[in-house]
Structure 1
Amino acid sequence: MIEFVTYLLFGTVLGTLGGLFGIGGGLIAIPLLGVWVGLDQQIAQGTALVMVVPNVMLALWRYHQRNRIEWRHALALASMGFCFAWLGSIWAVGIDAQTMRMGFVAFLVALSAYNLIRMFAAPPSMSSQMRYAWPWLGVLGAASGTMGGLFGVGGAVVATPVLTSLFGTSQVVAQGLSLALALPSTGVTLATYAVHQQVDWLIGVPLAVGGLMSISWGVKVAHALPERLLRGLFCAFLVLCAVLLALKV
């Protein structure tokens, strides 16, 4: 019972972060499950997905309520993301756990560096119109889906900075579209991990319940924060996740 309550509380914190950054909460859940709980990398990723999938569903709806998502763009991202996430997840379950963990750390470090560069670069011009549509959204969906399938998370954190810097969207619009991309890809990735016995449901379920209790509040905070502050917090969040997971390598 104590463990259930502990994971429930973890879930509420992760749900808040997932809503705030539009990533479902799994990015920090994986380092926590690996470092503190001691799960192997693939099991940590699969268990985190139990929380991520319902969190993404609810966060996507909340983002759409506050800032309507253009479903033409979402479909282009999600369809390609789904196909390539499936391929990435099949690849992931066959990789050595230590190699997977090192790859995940490298992925976070590269993503953190990219976001730090963007923090000090001239802010991109925003537009009510997407600069590029299909097929470039499909290319982004394929790349993000592959990362999501391989690492259990990553699709949204890859897509969000690309959408703001190259496609010219605001941070909250990018986070909403990234959630639309993440929903089908995280679903197929969870199914693949579950089939290969890489999920601890006793940990994942209370994490999911806690996340659903708090993710709406995280979305509300995201829309209340200034654009630059939200980006700065997102970058700091990535650096923290990389440091946590590097402790386990």
Structure 2
Amino acid sequence: MIDWAMYLLMGAAMGTLGGVFGIGGGLIAIPALVLMFGMDQQLAQGTTLVMVVPNVMLSLWRYHQRTRIFMRHALPLAAAGFVFAWIGSIIAVGLDPDAMRIGFAIFMLVLATYVYLQMYLRKPPPSTELRHPWPWLMVLGSGSGILGGLFGLGASVLATPILSTVFGATQVVAQGLSLALAVPSTGVTLVTYALHNHIDWHIGIPMALGGLLSVSWGVRLAHALPEKSLRTWFCLFLVLCAALMIFKA
């Protein structure tokens, strides 16, 4: 019972941080499980997905209540993301855990660099209409899906910034489409990891409950803090976790 309460609190902390940083608790939970609990990379990713999937579904439902998501944009993203997340997850469960850990650390470093540069790069004015036609959405869905399958993350990690910069979508449109992409891709990835016994349900379920209880509070906190400070601290956090994972004994 004490362990279950600890995992619940850990999930609540991850949900809060995920809401604050706007990318998702999974990116934070995976290195935490690797470094604090000594899990191998696949087990950490699979366990984190138990928390990520219901959080993404809840976020999509709440978003749909407030903002219209156009199906002509969401369907190509979601279909391509589903297929390539399935392919990526099949590849991931057969890889060497140490190689996966190093790959995930490198991914965090690249993401930290990209997020930081976004503060200083000039962006074109956003629009409610996307700049590129639907086949390019399938390309984005494919790339986001395979990364999500490989690293056990929501596809929004890659899709949201690309939709807002390359496709010229407003932030709310980009986030809504990314959620529509993330639901099927994280779902099929979770099933694949579960079938290969890469999930610790005893840890994942209370983390999921904690995340559901706290993610909304984290989003409210994010709106009260300076954006540049949030992005800077988030990037520093990613770099620190990446370094610890690379040099993990």
TM-score by length of 2: 0.91
Summarize deviations over 1:167-224 as a string: whole Å, max 9, x none: 11222322222111111111111111111111000000000001111223334555x4
Secondary structure at 1:205's aligned position in 2?
Answer: helix
Question: Identity of paired residues, percent?
Answer: 58
Distance, in Å, in 1 between the alignment partners of 2:240 and 2:183 is: 27
Q: Does 1:125 align with 2:125?
A: yes
**Structure 1 residue 238: Cα displacement:** 4.4
Q: Would you say the 8 A contact 2:106–2:242 is kept in 1? A: no
One-letter amino acid of the structure 2 residue matched with residue 151 of structure 1: F
Q: Would you say the 8 A contact 2:19–2:216 is kept in 1? A: yes
Distance, in Å, in 1 between the alignment partners of 2:175 and 2:200 is: 28
Aligned length: 246
Q: Structure 1 residues 67, 230: CA separation in 2 closer, same or farther (over 3 Å shift)?
A: farther
Q: Would you say the 8 A contact 2:128–2:173 is kept in 1? A: no
Distance, in Å, in 1 between the alignment partners of 2:221 and 2:195 is: 36
Cα-Cα RMSD: 2.0
**Structure 1 residue 55: Cα displacement:** 0.5
One-letter amino acid of the structure 2 residue matched with residue 246 of structure 1: A
Determine the structure 2 residue equivalent to 1:158.
Answer: 158
Determine the structure 2 residue equivalent to 1:74.
Answer: 74
Determine the structure 2 residue equivalent to 1:138.
Answer: 138
Determine the structure 1 residue equivalent to 2:213.
Answer: 213
Secondary structure at 2:134's aligned position in 1?
Answer: coil
**Structure 1 residue 104: Cα displacement:** 0.6
**Structure 1 residue 235: Cα displacement:** 5.9
Summarize deviations over 1:35-82 as a string: whole Å, max 9, x none: 111111110000000000000000111222233322321211111000
Distance, in Å, in 1 between the alignment partners of 2:32 and 2:133 is: 37
Q: Would you say the 8 A contact 1:20–1:221 is kept in 2? A: yes
- Structure 1 gaps of 5+ residues are none
Q: Structure 1 residues 162, 232: CA separation in 2 closer, same or farther (over 3 Å shift)?
A: farther
Q: Would you say the 8 A contact 1:22–1:156 is kept in 2? A: no
Q: Would you say the 8 A contact 2:86–2:192 is kept in 1? A: yes
Q: Structure 1 residues 6, 194: CA separation in 2 closer, same or farther (over 3 Å shift)?
A: same
Distance, in Å, in 1 between the alignment partners of 2:116 and 2:107 is: 14
Q: Does 1:247 align with 2:228?
A: no
- Structure 2 gaps of 5+ residues are none
Determine the structure 2 residue equivalent to 1:42.
Answer: 42
Secondary structure at 1:247's aligned position in 2?
Answer: helix
Q: Would you say the 8 A contact 2:102–2:245 is kept in 1? A: no
Counterparts of 1:146-185 in structure 2 under 5 Å? 146-153=146-153, 155-185=155-185
